[in-house]
Amino acid sequence: MQKKEFKKLLLETINNNDNPFHPLVWINGDPIIGDGTYIGGFSEINAKGAKVIIGKNCDIASFVVINVADSHRRCIGLDQEISNKDITIGHNVFIGSHCVVLGGVTIGSNSVVASGTIVRDSDILPFSLVVGNEIKSEYYKAEYEAKNR
């Protein structure tokens, strides 16, 4: 089997479309991705329902999720619809392995998002370093209980 035939079969088997980055990068919707940007394998960009704009010369490592959709409030019965918010990533941004960039985020140019970081509902200024995660225990508990009395 020729390489081209194998790639076609692989993409069909994993229900993925060909893209200029890697056969194991999933791109949903129509994100705008600047020239010179690299996206590593096993990453996903979901631009269905909102805009994703990624600037030029970015380095997005493997196992990164960039996702405009958030269904958690619908899933736990607080909303009827999935929330979709735009994501904008400037030029020359590095996003490390195993990061999650969620809807409502703007990352300014020349910034670094360290491996394992979750970014949501943030406006990150250019030349920033983003590291770590914050967990707010029982964040939705009072609202859920109030709604379901």
Higher pLDDT, 46 or 17: 46
Indicate the pLDDT class of residue 140, thresholds 50, 70 and 90: confident
| Rounded CA separation 126/47 (Å) | 23
| Rounded CA separation 26/31 (Å) | 11
Q: Are the CB atoms for 110 and 126 separated by under 8 Å?
A: yes
For the chain, domain boundaries: 14-147
Indicate the pLDDT class of residue 12, thresholds 50, 70 and 90: confident
Mean pLDDT across the chain: 92
Structure tokens at 8: 């076609």
- Residues 68-111: pLDDT tens digits? 999 999 999 999 999 999 999 999 999 999 999 999 999 999 99
Q: What is the CATH number of domain 14-147?
A: 2.160.10.10
| Helix residue ranges per DSSP H, the chain | 3-13, 72-75, 141-147
Indicate the pLDDT class of residue 135, thresholds 50, 70 and 90: low
Indicate the pLDDT class of residue 136, thresholds 50, 70 and 90: low
Structure tokens at 39: 């996206």
pLDDT at 23: 84
75-82 — which CB contacts under 8 Å span 24+ positions? 76/140, 76/144, 77/144, 77/147, 77/148, 78/140, 78/143, 78/144, 78/147, 82/49
